Chain A
Amino acid sequence: MSTVKFTVDGEKISAEKGETVMSACKKHGIDIPKLCQHDAMENVMACRVCIVEVNGEQIQPACGLKVEEDLEIKTETDEIKKYRRMNLELIYRSENHYCMFCESDGDCELQDLMWENGIDYFEHPRLFPDRPIDSSHEHIVIDNNRCIRCGRCVRACEEVVGNQTLAFGGRGLENEIVADADVPLKESTCVSCGMCLQVCPTGAIFNKHSMFKGIKDECDLTESTCLRCSVGCETEIYTRTGHLVEIEGAESEMESGGQLCEMGRFEPLVDRTEKIDDVIYKENETEKEMSLAKGLEKAAEVLDEGDKISAMASGNLTNEVLDSFSEAMRTHGALFDVVGAKRHRFEKEVKRRINMIEGHFIDDITEVMKADHILLYDTSVRDTHPVLASYIRRAAMNGTRLITIDAYEDRFWEHSDISISVESPKTQLTRLINQVVREGKGSIEDLTRVSSILGGLRVHPRDVMQVVKHLEESTYDIIILGSEIIDRWSIRHIFELAKLEGSYLISLNQASNQYIRSLETEGVYEEPDVAYVLAGDEDDQEDMKKLIENADFSIVQASKRSELTEKADLVIPSLTMFEREGTSVNINGEEKEVERVMEPKGELKSEREFFEELAEKR
């Protein structure tokens, strides 16, 4: 990369060729005011606030202008200041910018610019727009009356989330933000990720649950990692006096563009389930509360008495908690398992049998955006790993061929080039694809048996041939295996296919912490005497439910009341995800820090200490 030198306000600075003046200035600590520019998205040069003087003659937007050798940039001439101020005044008068009646008062980029430019009164008569406010959505409000048409939300929705729900409707003064064909946001194709409100520089799009809870500057900020799925997005969590105010994606992490999904951004804010603070012991249909110490003793006692003990932990806990829990359980002679580990154990077995090397597995999921073909087996990734789903959509929008196979609906129907729907068992389809790949195209027509299988699966042979054709054409294809796949044969066929085709793999499971791959897990007893379920924040996990139902006595350690705690004989409090600290491993295999956001409210202060004590009580 060659560098060029140019001057900004008399100061010589160097920058990379091809870089914009704005980005070069930013690196040298010169902040040029802006409204529409955002690092996660393409620059559109729309707001005309970042205007600078070029070589004493032209006026250009700093976000569009590329650096050149000897360029002479001035950011604060009288003329520039005058024009910038005029444009800001025009914005100020044209929409509803009565700051004292705005949710974003104090958290507003427009307001900051107004103050910087000394605009604290209306120079021009106001236009008083009167547009309907869309508050249909569970989490998001869109108020076009406060919208400055910078288009960040539109670009975020398209470029970052790959969703294209939001767009500009109308022209000129009629220009406004609409969802789909101007339907209420709630009824639209919105995936509720909240990226739009995170990037909105004014109060035009905001979070219902954070409304009027105070400005960010007055909040405590904790940077952490989201443990709702294995993507492990970096989060910025705002709290005030120990209460959650808002969760945002960390914009420094540019691959995700600061994205979060509904699970990570909104669900914690709307979670109103009752927290568990005390130990509850159920005896003869009555609930008895007891201290944590008593609860620990009771648990040790039950474990001691049990013969077949099964322990199961949520996959959304930290490495430290998983380690200490497994240690304690092993001391008590239990079989240890983690949600999601079963899938991992199958994979390990398949890999050994077909002699598969690790090189097939992608260590950076943003690679999906570089693939020319994606074969998505099980489209539930849209719900289980929404940010990964956004990368798949972005890839498809940029020309990557997307093939989907699913037992239910194709949750990527807008983007998939081939969409195959097969009823369970799906193994026959993958076997068929493998067969065609291995034996050539003739094999599919020759076998009458094949068409009967395909007939039963209601799949057209043409689709199978198309899939094979695409895979053969591709130079970089990625196969993504969703977390709902749990039959060994499907895993085997897909892995074999990857081996045959030289494809790369992303394999998803239900755990957000991929530390489970290095943990020794053993599965569960069908009918245990004692089940110890460390649920954490999980409330309706199927494997856990089944284990509790089949056990003679069950211990559930959870942060909140749920179906699981209802069925347990002994309930012990656990920390919430915001009270826990430690480390976690994401899908890329990177170890991430999980920070404590709030001080534990109950008697339990550290799960690790609790389990160490439990181990000692053998």
Chain B
Amino acid sequence: MEKYHLRDMLPIIEEYEKKAGSLIPILHEVQKKLGYLPKEVQEFIAEELGIPYSQVYSVVTFYSFFTMEPKGDYTISVCTGTACHVKGADELTEELKDRLNVEEGGTSDDGKFTFNTKRCVGACSKAPIVMVGDDVYGKVQTEELEDILNRY
């Protein structure tokens, strides 16, 4: 994990702060940069925007997209939408947990993969879906997972 400096967040905050309701866009950008939203960064954003600490924290914890845990290099996720559920997403989930030795939301020991499940990604015809970063894999069989993981 790279160390960050709080001042590196300033350009992002400055870009958005003039707009009304800028908090969520700022959090998106900062998370894109750091991979997660540590408490001290949340407090820094609050101070810069002149809003209560509690507002930033409550927003970060309300939305499932925001995370306070550092993330691996890649996020691997299994879609749990209806079609994927029917087509065996649960088995993929179990298999991935086993292989990476993580619980949902956790990061593998080598810091490479963070595993989670996702709401429907809208590619139901290709169910079940596994996503690594922005790459989408359709009709995934459990035995194909090893091959997918090895590509990264």
Contacts and interface: CB of A to CB of B under 8 A. Distances in A.
Contact of A414 (B52, B56, B61, B64): B52
A159 to B, nearest CB: 13
A167 B54 contact: yes
Contacts of A181: 39, 42-43, 46, 53-54, 56-57
Interface in B58-111: 58, 61-64
Given A169-B61, A171-B61, A180 B50 contact: no
Interface in A175-190: 178-183, 188-189
B55 interface: yes
A166 B53 CA distance: 9
14 contacts: A166-B54, A167-B57, A169-B57, A169-B58, A170-B62, A171-B62, A171-B64, A174-B61, A178-B57, A179-B54, A180-B57, A181-B39, A181-B56, A414-B50
A189 B62 contact: no
A179 B56 CA distance: 11
Contacts of B39: 181-183
Contacts of A189: 52-53
A192 interface: no
Given A181-B39, A181-B42, A414-B50, A168 B55 contact: no
Nearest to A397: B52
Interface of A: 164-171, 174, 178-183, 188-189, 414
Nearest to B57: A181
The secondary structure that dominates the B interface is: helix
Interface in B16-41: 39
A164 B54 contact: yes
Given A181-B42, A181-B43, A165 B61 contact: no
A168 B58 contact: yes
A181 B38 CA distance: 10
A183 B39 CA distance: 9
Contacts of B50: 414
Given A181-B53, A182-B61, A189-B53, 18 more contacts: A164-B55, A165-B54, A166-B54, A167-B54, A167-B58, A169-B58, A169-B61, A170-B62, A171-B61, A171-B62, A174-B61, A178-B57, A179-B54, A180-B43, A180-B52, A180-B53, A181-B43, A414-B52
Nearest to A181: B57
A249 B32 CA distance: 47
Contacts of B55: 164, 167
Contacts of A188: 53
A168 B56 CA distance: 11
B62 A167 contact: no
B66 to A, nearest CB: 11
A170 to B, nearest CB: 5
A189 B46 CA distance: 13
A180 B53 CA distance: 5
A182 B60 CA distance: 11
A169 B66 CA distance: 13
A178 B58 contact: yes
A353 B52 CA distance: 45
Contacts of A180: 43, 52-54, 57
Nearest to B63: A171
